[in-house]
Structure 1
Amino acid sequence: MGKINGCLKCIFVFFNVLFAIFGALLIYGLLQTSASYKGEFSSLNVPGLIFWVFAICFFGVSSLGIFATCCESIIGLKLFASFMGIGMIIMLYCGITVARRRHEIETAFRDELQRANLREEVLRSMVEGIQSNFHCCGLTSPGDWVYEIPDSCKCSNGRYGGSGDFGSPRCQSKPQGIRGPDEIYEQPCIIELLNLGFNILFGFFFGFAIIALLGLLIAICMINQIKSDNSRESMYLRKY
């Protein structure tokens, strides 16, 4: 009979198998990307290096958790718990850093978008899709379209002026001297893009921090179960 609760062991191994598969898929995707671009992205590229470290750590730590749990190894579980603790601290630090530097990131992103040329077909199609889905107009303002505002900016289901109903877009008159719909969305798309981007980042960092915390707590629980069982065995041997 195992020293770790069978149900707890199965759940822990199951989720670690899922995470190991996810890590393996990330590694496979990175290998395919590297093969496709053949050196266009250097291996010393900082974002690429971060992805590689994340994928390898994800796969390696999950594999360690599976091995340590199946073998009921205290050393392996302690090592796994240490990685979970470090990972949780890193994720929390990154999430808090992004939250504190949000204004700087927004400013840099805004400056970059202001240099964008909406006359380029690929960028124009992308922005029009964003406008239709997020009910916004222009990257930084409707004036980004220069001469003609597309129909995707047309505001027909919102309120003109005021704060608008909850969840409904606000409308405004189109700028003077620009062709296009008479009423357009008031909100520029950069706000929607930034909000979406930050929500994804916060969800990623704090979500993985919670997962790491749960992994740490379960690992500690299993370590205590093994120690408790070992203590009972020692007492039994001393008694007999």
Structure 2
Amino acid sequence: MGKINECLKWVFIFFNFLFLIFGCVMIYLAVGFTVVAFQTSAFGGPGVGWLWVIAICFFGISSLGIYAACSEKSLFLNIFAGFIGVGMIIMLILGIVTAVSRNTVKNQFEKNAKEIADIVMKNNISRAGLDNMQQQFQCCGVISADDWGTKIPKSCECVEGSSGKPTCKSKPVGTTGPDKIYAKGCMDTIFSVIDADFKVSLGIFFGFGITALMGLLISLLMSHQVKRHDGMGGLCIG
């Protein structure tokens, strides 16, 4: 038998192999995005440097983990543990920063609701987007129907008893449009779209952080097994 528990060793190699494949996929995507970024660089296209860094880190650290487990050398296991520990800290920091940013954005939405509504209503593209959103999400205006001024669009029309059981109200006095309109504004819906991106990011950062913690603990355990084996003069362990 080897220096490391065989079951533990192969579980460790399996998960590192999965992340190695993930790293290869990210490198493939990075190549594609780099070509696109190069073609659109004259128009101020986004950079892909961080994507390359993340892809290479996944590929390199996973490769190191596989080699460290196969070689059963404490030095390489400790180096892997160091890298994965740094990665875990970075993921947790990014997760905390994202969570704080999410709360900040939410507070700004609530604090500057009127200013946001004015910006949306002054832009033809965002007005059209709001118009399309209203019927689907059963809301009217950013804050309320007052955002539309005296002309309320057909998409604000509310039919009592329809699916979703929307809350309806009469249109404001002095306005044209449907007699019954949705009572709530679309602010919560607009924020929920942005908030979905924050939640996905939080899941990724904390998910990888927990995975990195497990990898760190397993690599340290295997390093301990190697050191114990070598300290006992080469006596095999189970």
Is the 2:85–2:213 Cα contact (8 Å) retained in structure 1? yes
Residue of 125, 131, 134 corresponding to 1:120: 125
Distance (whole Å) between structure 1 residues aligned to residue 82 and residue 131 of structure 2: 45
Q: Counterpart amino acid of 2:182?
A: I
Q: Counterpart amino acid of 2:167?
A: C
| Change in 2 beyond 3 A, CA 1:135/1:86 | farther
Distance (whole Å) between structure 2 residues aligned to residue 127 and residue 224 of structure 1: 63
Q: Counterpart amino acid of 1:63?
A: S
**Is the counterpart of residue 222 in structure 1 residue 219 in structure 2?**
no
Q: Counterpart amino acid of 1:79?
A: I
**Is the counterpart of residue 16 in structure 1 residue 16 in structure 2?**
yes
Is the 2:78–2:223 Cα contact (8 Å) retained in structure 1? yes
Instruction: Report the counterpart of residue 3 of structure 1 in structure 2.
Output: 3
Instruction: Report the counterpart of residue 199 of structure 1 in structure 2.
Output: 199
The one-character-per-residue Cα deviations of 1:66-93 (angstroms, maximum 9, x if unpaired) are: 1111111211111110111111111111
| Change in 2 beyond 3 A, CA 1:29/1:139 | farther
The one-character-per-residue Cα deviations of 1:13-41 (angstroms, maximum 9, x if unpaired) are: 11111111111111111111221342425
User: Structure 2, unaligned stretches of length 5 or more?
Assistant: none
> 1:83 aligns to what SS in structure 2?
helix
Q: Counterpart amino acid of 1:171?
A: T
Q: Counterpart amino acid of 1:179?
A: G
Distance (whole Å) between structure 2 residues aligned to residue 153 and residue 118 of structure 1: 22
| Change in 2 beyond 3 A, CA 1:52/1:131 | farther
Deviation at 1:145, TM superposition (A): 6.6
Distance (whole Å) between structure 2 residues aligned to residue 55 and residue 126 of structure 1: 37
Is the 1:118–1:145 Cα contact (8 Å) retained in structure 2? no
Distance (whole Å) between structure 2 residues aligned to residue 5 and residue 67 of structure 1: 16
Instruction: Report the counterpart of residue 61 of structure 2 in structure 1.
Output: 61
% identical aligned pairs: 35
Instruction: Report the counterpart of residue 184 of structure 1 in structure 2.
Output: 182
User: Structure 1, unaligned stretches of length 5 or more?
Assistant: 160-169
| Change in 2 beyond 3 A, CA 1:71/1:84 | same
Q: Counterpart amino acid of 1:182?
A: K
Q: Which moved more, 1:100-109 or 1:202-211?
A: 100-109
Instruction: Report the counterpart of residue 88 of structure 1 in structure 2.
Output: 88
Q: Which moved more, 1:98-107 or 1:69-78?
A: 98-107
> TM-score normalized by structure 2?
0.74
Deviation at 1:140, TM superposition (A): 6.1
Distance (whole Å) between structure 2 residues aligned to residue 151 and residue 17 of structure 1: 51
Deviation at 1:184, TM superposition (A): 2.7
Deviation at 1:115, TM superposition (A): 4.0
Distance (whole Å) between structure 1 residues aligned to residue 77 and residue 157 of structure 2: 56
> 2:167 aligns to what SS in structure 1?
strand
Is the 2:92–2:206 Cα contact (8 Å) retained in structure 1? yes
**Is the counterpart of residue 208 in structure 1 residue 197 in structure 2?**
no
Alignment of structure 1 residues 95-106 onto 2, 5 Å: 95-106=95-106
Distance (whole Å) between structure 1 residues aligned to residue 134 and residue 2 of structure 2: 55
The one-character-per-residue Cα deviations of 1:76-124 (angstroms, maximum 9, x if unpaired) are: 1111101111111111112222223334334389878964577439x95
| Change in 2 beyond 3 A, CA 1:194/1:18 | same
| Change in 2 beyond 3 A, CA 1:17/1:157 | same
Deviation at 1:223, TM superposition (A): 0.5
Deviation at 1:175, TM superposition (A): 5.3
Distance (whole Å) between structure 1 residues aligned to residue 179 and residue 197 of structure 2: 29
> 1:32 aligns to what SS in structure 2?
helix
Is the 2:91–2:208 Cα contact (8 Å) retained in structure 1? yes
Aligned length: 223
Distance (whole Å) between structure 1 residues aligned to residue 33 and residue 5 of structure 2: 42
